Amino acid sequence: MDPRTEISSLGEFGLIGHLTENNETKNASTVLSVGDDAAVIDHFGRQTVISTDMLVEGIHFDLMYTPLKHLGYKSVVVNLSDIYAMNATPTQILLSIAISNKFSVEALDEFYEGVYAACDKYQVDLVGGDTTTSQRGFVISVTAIGEVAPDSYVKRNGAQVNDLICISGDLGGAFLGLTILEREKKIFEETGAQPDLEDRAYIIGRMLKPEARKDVIEYFAAQDIMPTSMLDISDGLSSEMLHICKQSQVGCVLYEDKLPINEESKDFAYKLELDPTACALSGGEDYELLFTVKQADYEKINANNGLSIIGYITEAAEGKTIITRGGNKHELVAQGWNHLK
Amino acid sequence: MDPRTEISSLGEFGLIGHLTENNETKNASTVLSVGDDAAVIDHFGRQTVISTDMLVEGIHFDLMYTPLKHLGYKSVVVNLSDIYAMNATPTQILLSIAISNKFSVEALDEFYEGVYAACDKYQVDLVGGDTTTSQRGFVISVTAIGEVAPDSYVKRNGAQVNDLICISGDLGGAFLGLTILEREKKIFEETGAQPDLEDRAYIIGRMLKPEARKDVIEYFAAQDIMPTSMLDISDGLSSEMLHICKQSQVGCVLYEDKLPINEESKDFAYKLELDPTACALSGGEDYELLFTVKQADYEKINANNGLSIIGYITEAAEGKTIITRGGNKHELVAQGWNHLK
């Protein structure tokens, strides 16, 4: 019998590493290939950034509580977020969908309403795609293209010892929004009771209608800040922080009391007897930007209320740690969403 | 009750038209948007061509008779074909897959072997993508990027009256290859008999391992030929010819006896009591290039044995027709593969 290795035994990043380990670059225009938020392509001296994401019904979204308009919006935004995470400006997208015949044209119109709303908000053009049937379920693939000034793109591997670790917005909200939606779905299925989500608008919005941090990239440009490394938080802070440490060959110290967590997130976490810090560290889909800057940029970062300094970069030998409110040191462990498990 | 319009009532092209009718371009860099084989993006005076396709298990391929290596190869090639159809040279691809846990790492390795074989053959770089799970089935999305000299891209809308209509290679083979594979699958399911496909290698190869016509684009460059319109045959000659006529606002005359059909295709078609001409007109997935050129290029086209002149462009009022061997005139009707029906 042929050997059989389960995909789950490698994990998502292990699998990507395995599948691309012999991937060689042939074109001089390929500036940056697999392994970051986006690829970078040289176009006659200027640079194009390109990234793609696939969203699968039942894995990435549940149509029971995801309005199609929100889904269209989010499908675009999560891809734009990858472009911003390269310090680039998105300009075009391509959108492919596979749909079963359970969807009507009216349903698709709703989905596209969200797609176009995101294109308008972020000033990107929908320039192509593919529309096909599926036997079951809804699959969405978006490719986003962006521009960046020559060699101004920011990778994951540039963090240096003593750099400040910073984050935009707040964390854990999307995970808690998902938790409440899943809970209410279960209650509805069991009892038929309509959910009352009124006082959870913030966290539900974080899940269903995330925004990409265009404003942060614009702030960098206006303030002449060049992050030394950056990525967007799709899998949870711990997982993303470990990516930066691994690729930059450094360690880190994070401070629990510096993690930005919204009051509504905290409140709902306590209600569920969840630790808000754990939600911030491991909850995915916040689409905030995690980045490192030189200490010299401290004042500029501090002057922006939407940005938080949550720690600093250390030598690799010092490990990847988080210091709790009580002063204890813990190893940072990735427990991010692993869709392949 | 809300109105419900079935997607099948619009058809694939009707649906795309419907969903993109209000799609406005916001970026000056968007040179060409939805509606051709690929989009064109201006990068500081030079042009990038980009296209994407989605392949869905059970719709576009059947793993019962499609080796994974071939599937990987074909997934790349069909996208490169779209780039060549713009008279451009592909340089990079992004590949996203959604897979169920029925696939092992070894199975994925086979798929990627085909992907890398195509990347090698066509000298393109795999620069990114996404890997995720699906609840069922295998979904593949490839985005291809290419370069073209300024304003040398060829659209579908430039055909002029008296232009020659040309095609590369031969037609109908992929459809006949699919037909034999489907037939043998049925026999196997009913009787357990192993298929004997030995003497059908050509048409089965046309289906399972198509090539993109890089050589034709290179011939155009070497011979200084600039087609007036071009696209690749994915849905069948009739359907594609009608696209050119519609977008160029012209008519056409095709000659049945000029349609290039391989001997093996003819032989197998007769065996099945199918009309080889119908297979050539309506069979999809040949990935040959259909293009129009000025009459002045007649000698150059004629000098290449791999190219056939199959008709000429007329005024729109003269209709879209094919003249049979017997001298009868028929209206050209699209009966191409409509995955949405």
Select the residue from B141, B153, B232 to test the A interface by mutation, using most A Cβ atoms within 10 A.
B141
C-alpha torsion sign, points A229, A235, A237, A242: negative
| DSSP, res B195 | P
Among B residues 46-65, those touching chain A with beta carbons less than 8 Å apart: 46, 48, 50-54, 56-60
Please report the pLDDT score of residue B340 as a whole number: 37
Rounded CA-CA distance A130/B53 in Å is 5
Nearest to B288 by CA among B338, B339, B214: B214
**Tokens representing residue A138 in the block:** 């809804």
Amino acid at A117: A
Q: Which residues of B touch A99 (CB under 8 A)?
A: 7
Residues of chain A predicted below pLDDT 50: 336-341
Q: Of A25, A129, A147, which is closest to B125 when you measure between CB atoms? A: A25
- Residue pair B287/B214 in contact (Cβ under 8 Å)? The answer is no
pLDDT band, residue B16 (cuts 50/70/90): confident
Q: Of B7, B41, B48, which is closest to A105 when you measure between CB atoms? A: B7
Q: Which residues of A touch B27 (CB under 8 A)?
A: 91-92, 123-125
**Are B16 and A131 a contacting pair at CB < 8 A?**
yes
Domains and CATH numbers, chain B: 28-148 (3.30.1330.10), 164-331 (3.90.650.10)
Q: Which residues of A touch B12 (CB under 8 A)?
A: 131-132
H/E stretch holding B99 reads strand B89-99
- What number is the ipTM of this complex? 0.88
Q: Of A2, A8, A46, which is closest to B101 when you measure between CB atoms? A: A8
pLDDT at B210 over 90: yes
Nearest to B153 by CA among B32, B240, B246: B32
- Residue pair B235/B284 in contact (Cβ under 8 Å)? The answer is yes
φ, ψ of residue A161 in degrees (nearest 5): -50, 135
Give the number of other Cβ atoms within 10 Å of residue A274's Cβ.
Answer: 18
Q: Of A133, A135, A143, which is closest to B340 when you measure between CB atoms? A: A133
pLDDT band, residue B9 (cuts 50/70/90): confident
Inform me whether the C-beta atom of residue B8 falls under 8 Å from chain A C-beta atoms: yes
Please report the pLDDT score of residue B197 as a whole number: 72
Residue range B195-216: mean pLDDT, rounded? 89
Q: Of B41, B134, B340, which is closest to A56 when you measure between CB atoms? A: B134
Among B residues 168-207, those touching chain A with beta carbons less than 8 Å apart: none
Please report the pLDDT score of residue A29 as a whole number: 77
**Are A27 and B123 a contacting pair at CB < 8 A?**
yes
Q: Which residues of A touch B32 (CB under 8 A)?
A: 127
CA–centroid distance for B244 within its chain? 14
Inform me whether the C-beta atom of residue A136 falls under 8 Å from chain B C-beta atoms: yes
Q: Which residues of B touch A128 (CB under 8 A)?
A: 33-34, 38-39, 50-52
CA–centroid distance for A234 within its chain? 3
Residue range B257-270: mean pLDDT, rounded? 95
Please report the pLDDT score of residue B44 as a whole number: 67
**Are B18 and A105 a contacting pair at CB < 8 A?**
yes
Rounded CA-CA distance B244/B37 in Å is 12
Please report the pLDDT score of residue A337 as a whole number: 43
Rounded CA-CA distance A23/A43 in Å is 21
Nearest to A293 by CA among A217, A226, A224: A226
Please report the pLDDT score of residue A28 as a whole number: 75
Residue range B152-178: mean pLDDT, rounded? 95
Rounded CA-CA distance B297/B287 in Å is 23
SS3 letters across chain A: CCCCCEHHHCHHHHHHHHHHCCCCCCCCCEEECCCCCCEEEEECCEEEEEEEEEEEECCCECCCCCCHHHHHHHHHHHHHHHHHCCCCEEEEEEEEEEECCCCEHHHHHHHHHHHHHHHHHHCCEEEEEEEEECCCCCEEEEEEEEEECCCCCCCCCCCCCCCEEEEECCCCHHHHHHHHHHHHHHHHHHHCCCCCCHHHHHHHHHHHCCCCCHHHHHHHHHHCCCCCEEEECCCCHHHHHHHHHHHHCCEEEEEHHHCCCCHHHHHHHHHCCCCHHHHHHHCCCCCCEEEEECHHHHHHHHCCCCEEEEEEEECHHHCEEEECCCCCEEECCCCCCCCCC
pLDDT at B41 over 80: no
Residue range B271-278: mean pLDDT, rounded? 92
**Are A99 and B129 a contacting pair at CB < 8 A?**
no
- Residue pair A283/A176 in contact (Cβ under 8 Å)? The answer is yes
Please report the pLDDT score of residue A196 as a whole number: 73
**Are B137 and A136 a contacting pair at CB < 8 A?**
yes
Give CA torsion, residues B261, B79, A76, A126, to 10 deg.
-60
Q: How far is B109 from chain A (nearest CA, A)?
A: 7
Q: How far is A14 from chain B (nearest CA, A)?
A: 11
Select the residue from B43, B49, B106, B116 to test the A interface by mutation, using most A Cβ atoms within 10 A.
B43
Q: Which residues of A touch B49 (CB under 8 A)?
A: none
Do the bridges between strand A320-323 and strand B39-43 make them parallel or antiparallel, or are there none, so unpaired?
unpaired
Among B residues 95-134, those touching chain A with beta carbons less than 8 Å apart: 96-99, 101, 103-106, 108-109, 112, 116, 119-120, 123-134
Q: Of B16, B51, B127, which is closest to A33 when you measure between CB atoms? A: B127
Please report the pLDDT score of residue A322 as a whole number: 95
pLDDT band, residue B286 (cuts 50/70/90): very high
Integer CA distances (angstroms), A202 to A98, A111, A206, B87, B307, in order? 31, 22, 6, 49, 62
Least confident segment among A10-24, A113-127, B267-281, B304-318 = A10-24
φ, ψ of residue B273 in degrees (nearest 5): 55, 40
The gap between the terminal CA atoms of chain B, to the nearest Å, is 25
Q: Tell me the three state secondary structure of residue B318.
A: helix
B270-276, long-range: CB < 8 A, 24+ apart: B272/B176, B272/B179, B274/B176, B274/B179, B276/B172
Q: Tell me the average pLDDT of chain B.
A: 89
Q: In terms of CA atoms, which chain B residue is nearest residue A43? A: B43
Amino acid at A233: I
Distant-in-sequence, close-in-space partners of B104: CB < 8 Å, separation ≥ 6 = A4, A5, A6, A7
Q: Which residue has the tokens 């905290």?
A: A266
Q: Which residues of A touch B50 (CB under 8 A)?
A: 92, 94, 127-128, 143, 145
Please report the pLDDT score of residue B7 as a whole number: 72
Q: In terms of CA atoms, which chain A residue is nearest residue B8? A: A101
Q: How far is B330 from chain A (nearest CA, A)?
A: 31
Integer CA distances (angstroms), B236 to A308, B88, B201, B245, B333, in order? 57, 22, 21, 15, 11
Select the residue from B33, B52, B234 to test the A interface by mutation, using most A Cβ atoms within 10 A.
B52
Rounded CA-CA distance A47/A87 in Å is 12
How does pLDDT run across A304-339, given as a tens digit for each residue? Answer: 999 999 999 999 999 999 999 999 999 998 874 444
pLDDT at B13 over 60: yes
Give the number of other Cβ atoms within 10 Å of residue A302's Cβ.
Answer: 13
Please report the pLDDT score of residue B337 as a whole number: 43
Inform me whether the C-beta atom of residue B320 falls under 8 Å from chain A C-beta atoms: no
Residue B96 bridge partners (DSSP): B130, B141
Please report the pLDDT score of residue B40 as a whole number: 80
- Residue pair A313/A161 in contact (Cβ under 8 Å)? The answer is yes
Integer CA distances (angstroms), A133 to B8, B158, B175, in order? 10, 31, 19
